[in-house]
Every structure is written in structure tokens, then in C-alpha cells.
């Protein structure tokens, strides 16, 4: 990665300096994503408590991440099982051909 630098982002009206080696456009994209999720959470549960809103948003994003990770893991397992079954079929076909 590159040299660490400061990227200025804004989330929910607050500016934050982020020290990172990541591309600044990517960090800004992450901030926009969090901002959009916070706006959705604020509509669903209006409150003046910014910390509570941030925690609710973090929980929602984390839930989505965990569900996606679980789904990918399940699909990966299924794919591995199918590949193993295909390999057994090919082995059987080769054995019959001999």
C-alpha cells in the first residue's frame, strides 16, 4: 500500500480526518455509503441522539455484511460439494473407459 495520508470525510454533519493508505476516492465512497445508511436509519427511527443513530447504522451494516458472508460461505460449500461430485463422476467414467 501507499504512504498514509489524511482524507477528510463528512458523515451526518460531522467532519472527520481519516488517516489511511487507501485511495481517497474509495474512503469518500465509504463515507457516502455510511451517510446514506444513517439517513435511512434516521427516517426509520428519528432521534437527536447521533451516537445511537451511528450504532444503529453500524449494526445494520454489520448485519448485512454477516448475512452476505454467510450466504457466500454456503454457496461456496455447495459449489465445492458439486465440484467434488463431478470429479468422482469423471474418475468413474475414466475407470470404465480403461
22 contacts 35 by C-beta, under 8 angstroms: no
User: Per-residue pLDDT averaged across 14-31, rounded?
Assistant: 96
The DSSP secondary-structure symbol of 21 reads S
Whether 28 shows a pLDDT value over 80: the answer reads: yes
Strands in 21-91 per DSSP E:
none
Residue 9: φ, ψ to 5°: -125, 165
Whether 15 shows a pLDDT value over 90: the answer reads: yes
Number of structural domains found in the chain = 1
Give the separation between CA 14 and CA 11, rounded to whole angstroms: 5
Whether 2 shows a pLDDT value over 80: the answer reads: no
User: Per-residue pLDDT averaged across 77-81, rounded?
Assistant: 76
User: Per-residue pLDDT averaged across 39-64, rounded?
Assistant: 88
| pTM summary value | 0.68
Residue 1: the pLDDT is 63
The grid coordinates of residue 5 equal: 495520508
What is the residue range of 67's domain? 5-97
Three-state DSSP at 83 gives helix
Amino acid at each position: 500500500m501507499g504512504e498514509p495520508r489524511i482524507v477528510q470525510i463528512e458523515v451526518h454533519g460531522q467532519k472527520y480526518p481519516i488517516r489511511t493508505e487507501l485511495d481517497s476516492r474509495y474512503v469518500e465512497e465509504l463515507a457516502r455509503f455510511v451517510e446514506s445508511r444513517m439517513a435511512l436509519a434516521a427516517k426509520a427511527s428519528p432521534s437527536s441522539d447521533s451516537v445511537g443513530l451511528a450504532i444503529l447504522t453500524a449494526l445494520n451494516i454489520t448485519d448485512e455484511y454477516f448475512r452476505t458472508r454467510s450466504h457466500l460461505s454456503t454457496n461456496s460449500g455447495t459449489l465445492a460439494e458439486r465440484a467434488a461430485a463431478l470429479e468422482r463422476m469423471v474418475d468413474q467414467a475414466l475407470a470404465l473407459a480403461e
